[in-house]
Structure 1
């Protein structure tokens, strides 16, 4: 049994902090029943869970779009709320579970006006 555990321990020792955090995020997302972001397909309705990595306010045609990058350790999903400037509780570092139809925005996977819930750690 020690033989099987040694490579895993060695891998953890040699991994960077970012790799360890990404692994933990991916495990949490999968354990929650969410689909890993890397496996989401365009036009599919899906559920993803991860941490808000970045929040941006973009002006679009006279109204603002609130954009968040959700990272689950396997990839990044752009969340776009049209016509919103702020959503209480959604800040960088917050863990979210989101649901919606996957589309592409500027070549990247995105969900427009996703349903969401803030997940307690």
Structure 2
């Protein structure tokens, strides 16, 4: 036995194959998977909650990209509905009485705060959230 035992190196060490493994995984992943990973990294950096882990009636901060904006009347009054994605799931953001909010458009990154509701079919909805354009 040698007088100097070999040090164990983690397989995640970028100097010992971890960088190669990450590069290989990125090459083998679809664009959708890579975009979801990037969105999740942004969620972690912003200190936001992943949409997939939100519970009914929980007050949360969410961060993601607007994927769709629609105007749906509720009870004869206008309502702006936005689909927000963060790589882990989607949530519908609904602003009652609004037809438009300047700056909120498809492709825009936003951070929102509010109480999330889960419908019987598992859809997540947040009404009149506070928002921050990113």
> Please, what TM-score do these two structures have when normalized by structure 1?
0.92
RMSD: 1.2
Q: Which has the higher contact order (CA 8 A, sep 6+)?
A: 1
Instruction: Give, in angstroms, the shift of residue 106 of structure 1.
Output: 6.5
1:118 has 2:127 as partner: no
> Secondary structure of 1:31's partner?
helix
* Unaligned stretches of 5+ residues in structure 2: 1-14
1:49-64 alignment to 2 at 5 Å? 49-64=63-78
Contact 2:55–2:118 (8 Å) recurs in 1? no
The number of residues matched between the two structures is 119
1:100 has 2:114 as partner: yes
| Whole-angstrom distance in 2 between the partners of 1:105 and 1:65 | 18
* Unaligned stretches of 5+ residues in structure 1: none
1:31 has 2:45 as partner: yes
| Whole-angstrom distance in 2 between the partners of 1:16 and 1:117 | 30
> Secondary structure of 2:27's partner?
helix
| Whole-angstrom distance in 2 between the partners of 1:106 and 1:83 | 25
Q: Going by fraction, where is strand more abundant, 1 or 2?
A: 1
1:67 has 2:81 as partner: yes
The structure whose Rg is larger is: 2
> Please, what TM-score do these two structures have when normalized by structure 2?
0.84
Contact 2:84–2:90 (8 Å) recurs in 1? yes
